[in-house]
Amino acid sequence: MPRTDNDAGIRLQGALQVIEIAPPVLLAPLAGITDLPFRRVVAGFGAGLVVSEMVASQEMVQAKPSMRARARAELGLGEARTAVQLAGRDAHWMAEAARMVEANGAQVIDINMGCPAKKVVGGLSGSALMRDPDHALRLIEAVVGAVSVPVTLKTRLGWDDDCLNAAHLAHRAAGAGVQMVTIHGRTRCQFYKGRADWAAIAAVVRACPVPVVANGDIVGPDSARQALAQSGAAGVMVGRGAQGRPWRLAQIAAELWGARAPEVPQGGALVTLVGAHYEAMLSFYGRDLGVKVARKHLGWYIDAARGAPLLRREVLTASDPAQVLRLLPEALSPAPQMEHAA
């Protein structure tokens, strides 16, 4: 049975091994953001668990061998402290996808029942499953029964304010063998508007016999502390708070659980980090696509460093990687007016 305590963090029991999520600070799956290069940077600073971008189960299983090989590379299967998140609406394909990623080294499989995107919900996946808990449970049972690694679940408080059924679903999911539940403190119909309701997660904690992780608007140690106090959760999951600050999870772990504090890179160290991340993305995606995909990360890094807007624009419009690398030292230096404002 999984358990949590102040020393061990969250413990997931697989058939062959125990997975310790310690410290219990997790990187959220974010489509188009938490790719393998970014997860590696975050994990390098220290995180209990990083979660892959959501994978459509049927599409992955039915893909051509070359596409499946690419998917395996993108998921970072076999890497330590990594969970693979699957989405779908059909129990057969969910189970097949789970078997496939386990066979290729996945250590934890997370089931997505919280994505609010219209194209996902329109396909009756993601948070749409909260409107049909019986069907959701069949998917959970299929995945748990297909693999020997721990299975976890990520969902929201409910579909809308009239359907707040996260506690009910989490209780049933735990009974079906799910080892941990992450709750984003909003309904599907809220998308990302308003504030996450951490106090509402407390009902899930009370109803669920396995560890619950709080998610939503947790951007640093202070918000993480408040989320834990209001929810009673066993850990926190950070998403947007890590954009441009991949060390943020390690900072939370240090302040709340006594982990070693990260050395936040500044000056030349920051330039080295960002440059290495940029080159890793170029290598991973190829030059042409990598230049485009990396721009959002470069923008977040420059924003976090309080860089000059004009240099930010120049970096994000450059198409030559060599030019980007030349601009980074100045772009990542705080602009004079920004230093004064700070």
Q: How wide is the angle at C-alpha 93 spanned by C-alphas 187 and 289, nearest 5°?
A: 75
Residue 1: per-residue pLDDT: 38
pLDDT, one tens digit per residue, over 172-210 is 999 999 999 999 999 888 777 889 999 999 999 999 999
Contacts within 8 Å (CB) and 24+ apart, 279-288: 279/321, 279/325, 280/37, 280/40, 280/41, 281/35, 281/37, 282/321, 284/35, 284/36, 284/37, 287/321
Indicate which residue of 115, 163, 189, 208 is catalytic.
115
What are the sequence ranges of the domains in the chain? 3-257, 268-341
| Amino acid found at 159 | W
33: confidence class by pLDDT, cuts 50, 70, 90: very high
Would you say 233 and 201 are in contact if contact means Cβ atoms under 8 Å apart?
yes
What is each CA distance from 87 to 42, 49, 77, 328, in whole angstroms?
A: 23, 19, 17, 37
Using the predicted structure, report yes or no on whether residue 304 has a pLDDT greater than 90.
yes
| Pairing mode of beta strands 235-238, 212-215 | parallel
Burial class (CB in 10 A: 0-12, 13-18, 19+), 165: middle
Q: 332, 308 in Cβ contact below 8 A?
A: no
Residue 118: per-residue pLDDT: 74
Strand partners, 87: 56
Average pLDDT over residues 293-321: 96
The pLDDT tens digits of the residues spanning 254-268 come to 999 999 999 999 999
pLDDT at 3 over 50: no
Confidence (pLDDT) at 66? 66
Handedness of CA 83, 18, 10, 178 (dihedral sign): positive
CATH of domain 3-257: 3.20.20.70
Percentage of the chain with pLDDT > 70? 93
Mean pLDDT, to the nearest integer, of 156-184? Answer: 93
Question: 85 - beta bridge partners?
Answer: 110
Q: What pLDDT, on the 0 to 100 scale, is given for residue 332?
A: 96
| For residues 119-124, average pLDDT | 72
Compare 127 and 297 and report the one with higher pLDDT: 297
CB atoms near residue 118 (< 10 Å): 10
Categorize the per-residue pLDDT at 2 as very low, low, confident or very high, splitting at 50, 70 and 90: very low
In the residue annotation, 115 being an active-site residue is answered as yes
Residue located via tokens 């410290």: 23
The whole-chain average pLDDT of the chain stands at 90
